[in-house]
Amino acid sequence: MSSAKYVFVTGGVTSSLGKGIISASLATLLQSRGHRVTIQKFDPYLNVDPGTLNPYEHGECYVTEDGAETDLDLGHYERFMNHPTSQANNVTTGSVYQSVIQKERRGDFLGKTVQVIPHITNEIKERMQILGNSGDYDVIITELGGTVGDIESLPYVESVRQLCWEKPDDCMVVHLTLIPYLTAAGELKTKPTQHSVKALQESGVFPDVLVCRTEHEINESIRRKLALFCNVQPDAVIQSIDAETIYDVPKLMKEEQLDKVVLKNLGLNHTGEADITRWEEFVFNLKNPKNEIDIALVGKYVELKDSYKSISEAFIHASATSRCKVNLHWIHSEKLNDQSAKEALKGMHGVLVAPGFGPRGIDGKLHAVKYARENKIPFLGICLGMQASVIEYARNVLNHQDAHSAEMNPDSSHPVIDIMEEQKKITDMGGTMRLGACACELKKGTIAHAVYGADLISERHRHRYEFNNAYLAQYEEAGMKATGINPETGLVEIVEIPDHPWFVGVQFHPEYKSTVANPHPLFVSFVKAVLKNKA
């Protein structure tokens, strides 16, 4: 078996250049040439994982099949590659230190002084090669979070240097940089890139490819200048011009021959062309809708749209499938009361109530559910959104006025959403929720069963609280049905109201599994129902 090849992706000049999208686009191109590819992300912060971070910090927390709480870039990787990632695909400085310190306590380094070099860098190098050593992949793309020159990135850059030294034939570095345009001078400027490459070179890392983010076309003379001063081949200067959608980027990178340059650097066959016909069909359908709908996304982190990244991307996938443009209207749940909910949701063809934690904004979510339920507007509730639909139903249909989730009101006399027995003794907050893939059995003759076309499905979870089965009979009797049940625990995973055109609440997160190649059926069905409602 030949050894895996490693592509390290670093970023210079500024953050938010889109390393994740470039990595995912490269993976897409390599995959379409038949290579087995995965992408991993190394984040330089001290949280063990992003699960304890507020979405305002780094956007949504993405959850993998095996229950890892990860950076949202892993969502992009899966959406582009249509291949699951795992715990091993996201490493943070916190998790690296945690494991080195555990080893020290165990006595693994007995007698030695434990230091950043070599102990932390060895740990990083080991983690960088876990997926490569699994034998499951030909190419491992490793995205380094942060920007070259940051103090906290240094151990990662040093680890990359060592790996490039140890495996010169199997490793390469792609450096993503910014070529700013100075309007007053009417010029693109290369100096920031020269400086960031120099910073890498001073650390002993020599980029093989430059991917240059730019708002304007980079001409031949700038490409040559960049190549000469940054010490790369002229064909290894890749332009990454601002795109209309992130889904344009694989095609743009193909036109710039990023895949060929990378394969050449790795000593792999680079003849022929990547076949991205299906991808291009998807983009065509996305850009040429035949219809348009308005959907309200009710949440409390709407100021930062990255907080609901997977949801908005799942709508994009569904909108391409249905050739129907989805206009998402971001509505702040904190601003909704009985009256303002009517005003804000008037004219919306569908309502989605988003996931979330804690009491802030919950009342607004309940008002949004009530409006959608009473006005027969297609409704999708995800996680806390599903819990909100259960609470609203208890209050306004079952007449349990103070019904609530135990998360919001531990003293409610009707805790229709409650904490599970095994969660009660847990005191640590990190990585202790119900996380990752769980099975769910679907009842025949329900929306869920029709949507999935299966009796048994698997979806990813991330929550502590659950539907309280003590109330199940009351709900079923009144008209809200449990249509998806966890076969191992009996927990309610899906609720529906049959006496409503399309009302579905799911305790899991379908958005995590929607990809370009496999748009999620629940989102596709929701979009269809919304379109029908509009008509």
List the catalytic residues: 383, 509, 511
Looking only at the bridges linking them, the beta strands covering 171-178 and 5-11 are parallel
Task: Say whether residue 423 binds ligand GLN (CB under 6 A).
Answer: no
Task: Scan residues 446-465 and list those touching ligand GLN (CB under 6 A).
Answer: 462-465
Q: Which residues pair with 404 in a beta bridge?
A: 415
Task: Work out whether the CA dihedral 204, 208, 213, 217 comes out positive or negative.
Answer: positive
How distant is the alpha carbon of residue 368 from its chain centre?
26
Out of 140, 320, 383, 531, the only residue in the binding site for ligand GLN (CB under 6 A) is: 383
Q: Name the residue nearer to ligand GLN (CB basis): 57 or 338.
A: 57
Task: Identify which of residues 259 and 459 has a Cβ nearer to ligand GLN in the complex.
Answer: 459
Question: Is 247 or 301 the residue whose CB approaches ligand GLN more closely?
Answer: 301
Q: What tokens does 128 get?
A: 């960088």
Instruction: Give the shortest CB-407-to-ligand GLN separation in angstroms.
Output: 5
- Give the total of residues touching ligand GLN (CB under 6 A): 10
For ligand GLN, which is the closer residue by CB, 356 or 415? 356
Which 8-state DSSP code applies to residue 469?
A: G
435 touching ligand GLN, by CB under 6 A: no
Instruction: Report in angstroms how near the CB of residue 481 gets to ligand GLN at its nearest.
Output: 21
The least distance separating ligand GLN from the CB of residue 465, rounded to whole angstroms, comes to 3
Per CB under 6 A, 349 contacts ligand GLN: no
**437 counts as binding ligand GLN under rule CB under 6 A:** no
Residue from 18, 146, 356, 519 in contact with ligand GLN (CB under 6 A): 356
Q: What is the SS3 string spanning 144-199?
A: ECCCCCCHHHHHHHHHHHHHHHHCCCCEEEEEEEECCEECCCCEECCHHHHHHHHH
CA gap 40, 10 in Å, rounded: 12
Instruction: Give the nearest distance from C-beta 416 to ligand GLN in angstroms.
Output: 13
For the chain, the farthest-separated pair of C-alpha atoms sits apart, in whole angstroms, at 75
Pair of tokens at residue 415: 């805790």
Establish if 378 lies at the interface with ligand GLN (CB under 6 A). Answer: no
In the bound state with ligand GLN, the residue whose beta carbon lies nearer, of 143 and 418, is 418
User: Tokens 């997926």 sit at which residue?
Assistant: 131
Residue 493 engages ligand GLN in binding (rule: CB under 6 A): no
Collapsing DSSP to helix, strand or coil, 294 comes out as strand
The Cα–Cα gap between 355 and 509 comes to 8
As given in the structure block, the two tokens for residue 307 are: 């907080």
| Residue 282 interacting with ligand GLN (CB under 6 A) | no
- Residue indicated by tokens 């870039």: 73
Residue 508 Cα to chain centre, angstroms:
15
78, 158, 407, 441: which one contacts ligand GLN (CB under 6 A)? 407
Q: Any contact of residue 59 with ligand GLN (CB under 6 A)? A: no
The residue among 72 and 383 lying less far from ligand GLN, judged by its C-beta, is 383
Task: Report how far apart, in Å, the C-alpha atoms of 460 and of each of 43, 63, 65, 92, 499 are.
Answer: 23, 7, 6, 22, 28
365 is an interface residue for ligand GLN by CB under 6 A:
no
Task: With CA atoms as reference, report the closest residue to 463 among 443, 438, 490, 496.
Answer: 438
Stretch that binds ligand GLN, among 37-45, 79-87, 310-318, 351-359 (CB under 6 A): 351-359
Write the binding mask 307 to 346 for ligand GLN: x where contact by CB under 6 A, - elsewhere.
----------------------------------------
From CA 356, how far away is CA 364, in angstroms rounded? Answer: 13
Shortest spacing between CB 434 and ligand GLN, in angstroms: 8
- Structure-block tokens of residue 112: 């030695």
Q: Is 384 in the site for ligand GLN (CB under 6 A)?
A: yes
∠ CA 112-150-261, nearest 5°, is 100
Task: Output the smallest distance, CB 100 to ligand GLN, in A.
Answer: 31
Residue 511 lies near ligand GLN (rule: CB under 6 A) = no
Q: Counting contacts by CB under 6 A, is residue 357 touching ligand GLN?
A: yes
Structure-token match 């001073």, residue found: 202
Question: Which tokens sit at 177?
Answer: 């940089």
Q: Which stretch binds ligand GLN (CB under 6 A): 114-122, 191-199, 352-360, 361-369?
A: 352-360
Which tokens is 367 given? 């008002």
The answer to the question of residue 370 lying near ligand GLN (CB under 6 A) is: no
Does 381 participate in binding ligand GLN (rule CB under 6 A)?
no
Nearer to ligand GLN, 84 or 361 (CB): 361
- Residue 323 and residue 289 in contact, taking contact as beta carbons nearer than 8 Å: yes
> Taking the CB of residue 219, how many other CB atoms lie within 10 A of it?
11
| Interface contacts to ligand GLN, rule CB under 6 A | 355-357, 383-384, 407, 462-465
